[in-house]
Amino acid sequence: MFTHTFINRPVLAMVISIVIIIMGGVAMLDLPIERYPTIAPPSVTVSASYPGADAQTVSDTVAGPLEEQINGVEHMLYMRSVCGNDGSLNITITFAPGTDLDMANVMTQNRVSAAMSNLPQEVQRMGVKTDKQSQDTNLFIALFSPDQSKDGLFLSNYMKLNLKDEIARVNGVGKVNTYGTGDYSMRLWLDPDRLHARRLTSADVINAVSNQSVQVAGGKIGEPPARAGQMYEYTVNLKGRLVNAQEFGDIVVKTGDDGRVVRVRDVADVELGSENYGFTSTFMGQESATMAVYQIPGANAIEVSEGVSAKLEELKKRFPQGVDYKIAYDNTDIIKASMNEVVVTLFATLILVVITVFVFLQNFRATLVPSASIPVSLIGTFAVMAAIGFTINQFTLFGLVLVIGIVVDDAIVVVENVTRHLQQDKTISSKEATKRAMNEITGPVIATTLVLLSVFVPVAFMPGITGTLFQQFAITISVATIFSSINALTLSPALCGMLLKRVDEDKLAKPFKLFNSGLDKTINVYSGLTRAVMRKAALGLLLFVGMTALALYGFSGLPSGFVPQEDEGYCMINIQLPDGSSQERTVDFIGQVNDIIAGTEGVDNYLSVTGYSLLDGVAASNSGFAIAVFKDWSERPPEQHQNVLIQKMNAQFAQLQEGLCMSFPVPSLPGVGLTGGFTAMVQDTGGAGIGSLAQVADGFVEEGNTQTGLAGVNSTFRANVPQLYVDIDRDQVLTRGLSLASVFEAMQNFLGSAYINDFVYMNRNFKVKAQARSDARAQPVDINHLEIRADDGKMVPLGAVASVENSYGPQQITRFNMYPSVTVRGGAAPGFSSGQAMAIVENMAAEKLPNFASLAWTDLSYQEKQASGSTTVIFMLAIVLVYLILAAQYESWSVPVSVCMSVPTALLGAVLAVIARGMDNNVYTQVGVVLLIGLATKSAILIVEFAKEKYEAGASPFDAALDALKLRFRAVLMTAFSFILGVLPLLVATGAGSESRKVLGTVVFGGMCAATALSLIVVPMLYYILQALIDKLKGGHINERKAAE
């Protein structure tokens, strides 16, 4: 047998293991570290702007043409667009997981290009941008002025000009976004009264600026081809683009017959201001600018964080006086914390496993053999992870934690069998005992490895996010198991031949004697129970069927979920004031919100932004959001858990009278939606209109809040936001010698902000924009005073051709898969799972939504819905593959049945444990069940293999099953306890990322405890029943049948 080579040549076996460790160690140092693998579906964003347009106009004239072209782009899952009353449009196209993001961006860009000719001219002029959407934010960086000597405009532009590009060049950084008061802009604040006095219009000013501030090329004097004898060549320079407020103020708008000149400064106030005054940002209550840093997919998150921090410290030396920065949020904090927790778990598991092995083997030399398999298997796995593009993340580390108890199994089987031969035959050497043992167990070692691998084969074909998560876990365990088997067939027998000595049981320490005595009694008890059950086979079979039915019923009845909600270390806060509230009111209200956050014990720091609705994704003067970052997990006791802090803040927010404010956790999976809980879209598929859709959505939300299984059902959509409608009398427009275009242009120039061209400041291009002064657009009546020049040169006030009326309309319009939609969010009530909550929502939709409306899932809910049902198929395929491999191994269709029937015992234990701890059936639960299928069958193989050998040696099925139980009881118990005690640290996990560890630990702990306790009776019983039935059908014992042949 090939294993004898390594017994005779132990150095060769050691060299193989050392090479594996070296390769894995080198790979481990270079592997990227991240919390999760790249799991979020890739997304592409398309953004456009139509200055001055309302949401409905943007929806009809910009979103519609773009969506018609983009719809159906290859691998698209769904498309969501948000049209705002500020003229903004943001379309997010979500693609299937695994889609190449660069290719998706190119394909989307091609579709956008095809739609450009159908868009308004102003939109084309402003440009339509297509970009890859970054997933989870790595860092939030706040730039602020401790002595408040610098305002938000300075901070915002200092960040853009001096920090943004430097940070973008840090290795691993993929994208940098800045938020604050806005970019610099040359603002021309038009005064309608001064324009009227000089008989000028806004168009006159804009045309003058456009014509007199323009980049031109002056050419050269003497440039070839030149005349003969040309001695010099000169470059001609011109002052084209203007650069400061004085120069723009000096632009000539009009000259009179008397030689008088009207300049821009005569009819407008010119200043270096902000491009957009709709946003403000604060850090800890002070004006600030905020930067969000995103990494390249696959980059090492910790290295990115450290690189950015080092660059900021370098740049800080150049900060002007009165400016400082703070990393408000760093997602590597939870990565480091959760990874540290997992690493601690890893070492705790290793120690517990080694102690367990030592207790059972009671020999230091024997303990070294399985202990040596741990570093070989674990470190070697990193080499394969690097080769296939995996990272060190939570799932791969979970796999390594769980596999510690598995990789020692094969080595334990080897040591246990060699020890038994040494004790039974006092005349043989360690090498000879090892050779005899390997002759017996090489087959089972290979079989158990193939079985465990076969469990994870179907996982490789699972779709979506669930498939990605399963694959990380499954491949890690599979690779480690393969290395474990290689180790069990090479290094373990070599070490056994070198290290194992015959043990005098009389000289064992008293604790070991007591342990052995107790173990012997346990074996006798189990043998007696199994013998009794086998004699009452019909009753035993009936009980087993009932147990299986209970396990299946319990598993199918578990509340479903996707991933447990973790304590992420921060939360988001959405802020909304009554419709039509001004920015000033919103700023004051956010100040009150900041006071509550600052006064909440457990909060470390906080950011807030005014003028942007986090949930709606659109600019709005009555909206804002905040981010509250909590103290480190080690500094927060259980009463300061994320959920508790959120509840405390929400209770205080509810006391605020002027607006609505709600804090909520972020999703545990990055890049998949904004909030935890469910996200649904109520769509107007029948064209009933925004008003009808709003009524339906409001009723749906109201109904949802009456359901006992739902909590916090809400929608931020409002269809009756106070607005103004300007009713233009088109007949009067023509009668007075005006054009509709000039009317529209005047309104846009005065009220909507007109983009003229660019100017250069601090080596960057910024926009030149014109708009009426704030006091000229403060009241609805001001619209009547705006003037347009008629064909005859007379100035006509807008009030002469139009009337201003109060109206109502939506703040924004959301479209989902091209249909107008309303976003409805919510969560499961305490005691209910996300799956149950989604089922309640679907039932509500079926009963309450009218024919013109329908329900669609998005974000994390979409992924959960896609994943539902696929795991059942995966479980069935795993069991079928296990059965087929065992059938091939034993050349029998019946023997594998008794092995596979160990699975219901593990499933029952897992279900009872999950129910006892109030958990649900989520991805981690399913990962644990898949693992249990392999572990339960692996333990059963040890019994069935020896029962088959005893039977073929002449024993009756009854005696063969009982002898195999007695013979393999210690080995089964040893391998089971190694795994069970190894997962104890997962069971009692605390700190960052603990919720997922507890779920996984609960499932495998409960399942293995039940499998160990029950399968030691069930497996021998089923083997006896099946083999006795076959003998009866075929006319006798196999040896008798062979003799008869």
Per residue in 444-488, pLDDT tens?
A: 788 778 877 887 777 767 767 777 777 888 888 888 888 888 888
Measure the CA–CA gap between 245 and 267, rounded to whole angstroms.
14
Based on the fold, state whether residues 884 and 972 are members of the same structural domain.
yes
- What confidence tier does 79 reach under pLDDT thresholds 50, 70, 90? very high
pLDDT band at 958 (very low <50, low <70, confident <90, very high): confident
Domain limits at 90?
41-134
Residues 836 and 900 in one domain: no
Query: So what's the pLDDT on residue 58?
Result: 92
Give the mean pLDDT of the chain. 85
- Tell me: the pLDDT tens digits for 602-654? 999 999 988 888 777 777 788 889 999 999 888 888 888 888 999 899 999 98
CA atoms within 13 A on the CB side of 16: 20
Structural domain includes residue 800 = no
Structural domain count of the chain: 3
Q: Are residues 472 and 594 in the same domain?
A: no
pLDDT digits (tens, 9 = 90+) for 290-315: 888 988 766 778 888 999 999 999 99
pLDDT of 1045 above 60: no
- Evaluate whether residue 223 is within a structural domain: no
Q: Is 454 exposed, middle or buried (0-12, 13-18, 19+ CB in 10 A)?
A: buried
- Predicted pLDDT at 126: 83
Q: What is the DSSP letter of 639?
A: G
Pair 625, 521 in one domain: no
Whether 938 is covered by a domain: the verdict is yes
Over its C-alpha atoms, the chain yields an Rg (Å, rounded) of: 37
pLDDT of residue 941: 80
In a domain, 781, yes or no: no
134 pLDDT tier (thresholds 50, 70, 90): low
Where do the DSSP E strands lie in 223-366?
Answer: 234-235, 252-255, 261-263, 268-274, 280-283, 286-295, 324-330
Amino acid at 647: Q
Which DSSP letter does residue 378 get? Answer: H
Shared domain check, 662 and 712: yes
Most confident range (mean pLDDT) of 148-157, 710-719, 934-943 is 148-157
Asked if residue 172 is part of any domain, the answer here is: no
Residue 869's pLDDT band (cuts 50, 70, 90): low
What average pLDDT does the segment 646-672 reach? 85
Choose between 656 and 567: higher pLDDT: 656
Q: HSE-up of 21 (CA within 13 Å, CB side)? A: 13
DSSP code string of 684-743: ETT---HHHHHHHHHHHHHHHTT-TTEEEEE----S-EEEEEEEE-HHHHHHTT--HHHH
CATH of the domain at 461: 1.20.1640.10
Q: Is the pLDDT of residue 412 over 90?
A: no
Window from 28-37, 325-334, 409-418, 1030-1039 with minimum mean pLDDT: 1030-1039
- Does 192 reside within a domain? no
What angle in degrees, to the nearest 10, is found between the helix axes of 394-424 and 923-952?
Answer: 20
Please check whether residues 701 and 844 belong to one and the same domain.
yes
- pLDDT at residue 506, rounded to an integer: 62
Please give the average per-residue pLDDT across 340-364, as a whole number.
75
What are 919's two structure tokens? 């958990």
CB distance 447 to 6 below 8 Å? no
Query: What CATH number should be reported for the domain holding residue 90?
Result: 3.30.70.1430
Domain end position, chosen among 79, 113, 134: 134
Whether residue 898 contacts residue 943, with contact meaning beta carbons closer than 8 Å, is answered with no
Contact present, 416 and 500 (Cβ < 8 Å): no
What CA–CA distance (Å, rounded) separates 500 from 418? 8
Residue 129 confidence (pLDDT) above 80: yes
The reply to whether 494 and 625 lie within a common domain is no
119: confidence class by pLDDT, cuts 50, 70, 90: very high
- Considering the domain boundaries, does residue 635 fall inside one? yes
Same domain, 1039 and 901: yes
Same domain, 627 and 489: no
How far apart, in whole angstroms, are the C-alpha atoms of residue 162 and residue 158? Answer: 6
Mark which of 134, 150, 178 sits at the end of a domain.
134
Token pair 């407020």 in the structure block, residue: 245
User: Do 128 and 63 fall within a single domain?
Assistant: yes
User: How do residues 972-986 score in pLDDT, each as one tens digit?
Assistant: 887 788 788 778 888
710 plus 584 within the same structural domain? yes
pTM of the model: 0.77
Residue ending a domain, choose from 103, 134, 165: 134
- 666 assigned to some structural domain: yes
Cα first-last separation, the chain? 31
Q: Cα 119 to chain center, whole Å?
A: 35
C-beta of residue 669 within 8 angstroms of C-beta of residue 862: no
pLDDT tens for residues 500-544? Answer: 887 666 666 677 778 778 878 888 888 888 888 888 888 888 998
Reported as a single tens digit per residue, the pLDDT across 184-232 is 999 999 999 999 888 899 999 999 999 998 888 878 888 888 888 878 8
Highest mean predicted confidence (pLDDT) among 107-121, 165-179, 285-299, 399-413: 107-121
Same domain, 1022 and 912: yes
